[in-house]
Chain A
Amino acid sequence: MQLSRDALLKAYRQMKTIRAFENRLHDEIALGEIAGFTHLYAGQEACAVGVCEHLGPKDYIISTHRGHGHCIAKGCDVVDMMKELYGSREGLCKGRGGSMHIADVNVGMLGANGIVGAGAPIAVGAGISAKATGHVSIAFSGDGACNQGTTFEAMNMAVVLKVPVIFVYENNHYSEHTGVDYAVGADSILDRAGAFGMKTFRADGTDFFAVYETMREVIEYCRTTKLPAAVELDTERYFGHFEGDPQRYRGPGELDRIREERDCLKTFREKVTEAKLLDGADIDAVDAEVEALIDRAVAEAKAAEKPKPEHVLEDVYISY
């Protein structure tokens, strides 16, 4: 199905926003501007956006420690996210979550998560809610989380309970600093998911159109049957596991090669300009708009109110 010009521009804007957000964080972290542990999503943008462009506010997603991209794709406010990462009281989570716990339940984003593999069981519960209203729940996991027992439990539970949960495995080939060929005992993440009794799908996670068209089919299937499914998206991670990771485990020239040959933004640009769906000027305009948004987000985040010591006590309970 042909995407409208607006839909194409929106998808590109989402991917570009994630890239610019992450690139800027990479720089700001190096300058010592941002505290804590941060895991950047740059390189994987086509996955989050190719999935979330099909979702509405009543569909739920849960993310991972590498969660900024999923947040942006699901509609979290970018300025509020930046404020959160700067530890501001005005941040999306009032400066109490930070990078690994950034969330906005109001837009159906049930949180980044500092515990690898913790999201999939929670996504099953969101799927119980989604099932009643004809929506779906998405558990984003990496190739590391696919080895956690919680993920196995969640897949089996989703099949047994017949819940429309989609387990999206973004395979960026590295579980932290360890290669996927070592850490995943089976030949394929997807074959293992299929063995739990669910339908499986595969797409090139560096090609927005491949992800988007595959997810159209997956989501239609899950909404109609109210059954789970698993998707493996083959993708690339540009930065290290965490910011500061020297990536010594990479092969010679590997990072240059994936940036040259597997960049989802470049691929998008080539495809839409060759097909004359958008021209270069359209894309350049989005780039400029997004860079200005990120500049503004950083400026506002730096100026935003910091929490006071007494705020440490807030929101542990609703009433106590």
Chain B
Amino acid sequence: MAIKMIREAILETIDAEMARDESVIMLGEDIVGGNGAPGGPEAIGGIWSTSTGLWAKYGPDRVIDTPISESAIIGAASGAALTGKRAIAEIMFADFIGVCMDQIWNQVAKFRYMFGGKSTCPIVIRMVYGAGFNAAAQHSQSIHAMVTAMPGLKVVMPSTPADAKGLLTQAIRDDDPVIFLEHKALYAVKGDVPDGEYLIPFGHARHVTQGDDITLLATGMMVGFAEKAAKQLAEDGIGCDIIDLRTTSPLDEEAILDSVERTGRLLIVDESPPRCSLATDLSAIVANKAFASLRAPIEMVTAPHTPVPFARELESAYLPSPDKIVTAATRLMSYKRG
């Protein structure tokens, strides 16, 4: 066990998997950086420091620095994956999914189904997402809902360094296409990371804290917000059962329903806008499958139905926060049937 940042856990996992399996390749914009420039290759080493040193170690045939061409990045990664490689594609900002949506949605997600189960496309599409850096409307979005809605994709959202390692190792070795969402505001978060080989199977949520009053569902940066809120709520004697979903597809329904059946109250924290979202999806599942357990209406703390704004004050207003979670939890606890 060693203390590492999420970005270090990701870099070390890619390194370990590339060393273990020579069919693993990586493609992306500026994952090497400096090619064709006076500074030379590795002048940058990946803008998120999640590929630093890999080009020097594995060479340009395996660590492939691409032009700014998201469709071609996903296409090249999937074409390589259909023909024997394990491809890791990096999309520098998840917002750029708009540029390469066809390759993800109509191609990667559907190959196996359309081809009668005769193809495998082991591709991991790493995407850097989330608000918190005042990067505004096109560099801050949480896009998990749209990819979770696409049959054929698995969707992973780690919130700790240990989970980043365990889930990314699983993603690279998985034979299905995986969308691996890395929150830019979590890259520097530190935590214990297990040494050696460490895999976390998909579809198994992490029980973050135990509590009997409210089930709190969260992913990514929202997990930490939920933990902060839970500490404050504990001072008022309210116990939160925090569940970090880890993967939104597949979804650990059992963990969610077990918890709600125990607490009778559900609060979902979701960084994306509220319509047709992860929050509404989870609400529908619980309303459908655990209706009799609910003692109050389901509460959702989400971003508003707006783009992500720029100014600090506006971005703070946009994002869920521990305070907003506390307010919603208090409302949930005080609900009385009329």
- Chain A residues in contact with chain B, CB under 8 A? 60, 62, 91-97, 101, 103-106, 110-111, 113-115, 118, 120-132, 137, 149-150, 153-154, 156-157, 160-161, 314-320
Contacts and interface: CB of A to CB of B under 8 A. Distances in A.
A161 B77 CA distance: 13
Specify which of B72, B106, B107 lies most central, judged by the most chain A CB atoms within 10 Å of its CB.
B72
Nearest to B71: A150
Nearest to A133: B84
Contacts of B102: 115, 118, 150
B113 A121 contact: no
B113 A124 contact: no
A316 B114 CA distance: 9
Query: What does DSSP make chain B's interface, helix, strand, loop or mixed?
Result: mixed
B83 interface: yes
B72 A150 contact: yes
A103 B176 contact: no
8 contacts: A94-B117, A97-B115, A105-B119, A114-B106, A122-B82, A122-B103, A124-B72, A125-B85
Contacts of A92: 116
Given A316-B112, A316-B151, A154 B75 contact: yes
Given A105-B119, A127-B79, A157-B76, 6 more contacts: A93-B118, A103-B119, A105-B118, A118-B103, A157-B73, A315-B112
B200 to A, nearest CB: 15
Specify which of A114, A131, A160, A317 lies most central, judged by the most chain B CB atoms within 10 Å of its CB.
A317
Specify which of B81, B87, B116 lies most central, judged by the most chain A CB atoms within 10 Å of its CB.
B116
B33 to A, nearest CB: 15
Interface in B202-237: 203
B152 interface: yes
Contacts of A150: 71-72, 75, 102-103
B79 A126 contact: yes
B110 to A, nearest CB: 8
A132 B72 CA distance: 19
A127 to B, nearest CB: 7
B207 to A, nearest CB: 22
A126 B83 contact: yes
A316 B152 contact: yes
B175 interface: yes
